[in-house]
Amino acid sequence: MRKIAIIPGDGIGIEVTRAALRVLECAKAKFDLSLTFTEFDWGAEKYLREGVSLPAGAVEMFEQEYAAIFTGAFGDPRVPDNRHAADILLGLRFKLDLYINLRPVVLLADRLTPLKNRTRTDLDFVIFRENTEGLYVNAGGVLKRGTPQEVAIQEEINTRHGVERIIVAAFEYARQHGRQRVTLADKSNLLTYGHDLWRRTFREVASRFPEIEANAQYIDAMAMLMITNPEQYQVIVTNNLFGDILTDLGAGLVGGLGLAASGNIHPGKVSLFEPVHGSAPNIAGKDMANPIGAILTAAMMLEYLGHPEAAQAVESAVSACIAANQVTSDIGGTLGTQAAGEAVVARM
Ligand code: NAD
Ligand code: IPM
Ligand code: MN
């Protein structure tokens, strides 16, 4: 039996995780998977009650006993500085060294894109977001806080090791999945130290993959081109912050945050799977959230765990539900979160 940790978190994270867990239980039964699911109540409630965000020993427990972690979302208006979310989510990403944040952008039904005259063949790429460095490392400091002379410094960390391994992962993915092009997004025209490292490393890694076209773009241009010419993208590789922004943009191109899946991966190690969206306080507790992002995230996790047939069954059931409009209101249906999840289970 392999152990899977389930951390629903906050807000709609709890609702979509409930639906995704139903799908996982269904996949387990149908494909006779040797998986057990253990729930952890970490999130804003526990943090406010006990002052505990990521409990001591959690990282070691996951490393030693678990095959994967599934999370919903973290964020609560009662924790304005987002402390618990940073401790749990960023804590696990960093401490488990989950350097690949893999976020597919795939159009599951033509009607879901806000772009005119675009179809599935135009919108089908994956984003490799660096997940352990960049502006996310909390390096920097503040001087004279709260005074008119305040100085705030937030440093972006780019290491050769960190940059190289995410670029290599993107090219290896392209090679394994028959993709012909990898596109880098950086700002090397301005950030002449950190992003020059990205661009030099990109060229060097690309030379090891001669059959794959390497294309480098500036992030501002890409933000436009992703809307005007999305068909050019197959695999995108970028840093932590640009990846955060581009993946919400990508989600918007294919039907919204309610559909977007992601994996925080270190190949061969315990990895963490979470929908791209947050805790959405504006719709939390109303049975309105779209569970498909979480369900497709569960499919990614099944794939990672070596169960491609189960992952495929989940993805097919989701596509069938979208085609039949058995979905939530954000993508034009009338179902609630749990009913939309049950529709997927029924089709499986
Ligand atoms: P959000 O992703 O929670 O919501 C953005 C918008 O998308 C909202 O209008 C919301 O209603 C909608 N939306 C999101 N998921 C949806 C779904 N499944 N179905 C239908 N609509 C959906 O982002 P936000 O409002 O900027 O942030 C809310 C909180 O979530 C903040 O505390 C933020 O820090 C946190 N957050 C957490 C994660 C995470 O845990 N992985 C990711 C992003 C944001
Ligand atoms: C995401 C989220 C997180 C991020 C936040 C909650 C820290 O937006 O997973 O995309 O910026 O990585
Ligand atoms: Mn984000």
Residue with tokens 């922004």: 245
Last residue of a domain, one of 257, 283, 316: 257
Amino acid identity of residue 3, one-letter, is: K
Residues 324 and 275 in one domain: yes
Last residue of a domain, one of 212, 233, 257: 257
Residues 95 and 113 in one domain: no
Residues lower than pLDDT 70 in the chain: none
Residues in the chain: 348
Average pLDDT of the chain is: 98
For ligand 2, atom 7, the nearest C-alpha belongs to: 86
Checking DSSP bridges between strand 66-73 and strand 271-273, what pairing results, if any?
parallel
Q: Any bridge partners for residue 182, and if so which? A: 214, 235
Work out how many domains the chain is built from and give that number: 2
For 289-331, the pLDDT digits (tens) are: 999 999 999 999 999 999 999 999 999 999 999 999 999 999 9
Query: How far, in Å, is the centroid of ligand 2 from the Cα of 244?
Result: 6
For ligand 2, atom 9, the nearest C-alpha belongs to: 276
What pLDDT is stored for residue 315 in this prediction? 98
CA–CA separation, 295 and 318 (whole Å) = 8
> Cα angle vertex 248, ends 247, 254, to 5°?
90
Residues 83 and 108 in one domain: no
pTM of the model: 0.97
Which residues line the pocket of ligand 2, CB cutoff 6 A? 85, 89, 244, 276, 278
- Domain containing 64: what range? 1-99+266-348
Other beta carbons less than 10 A from residue 66's beta carbon: 16
For ligand 1, atom 25, the nearest C-alpha belongs to: 280
Residues 112 and 80 in one domain: no
Last residue of a domain, one of 257, 285, 313: 257
Question: Candidates 74, 87, 89: which one to mutate for ligand 2, based on the most atoms within 8 Å of Cβ?
Answer: 89
For 198-257, the pLDDT digits (tens) are: 999 999 999 999 999 999 999 999 999 999 999 999 999 999 999 999 999 999 999 999
**Any idea what the CATH number is for the domain that residue 207 is in?**
3.40.718.10
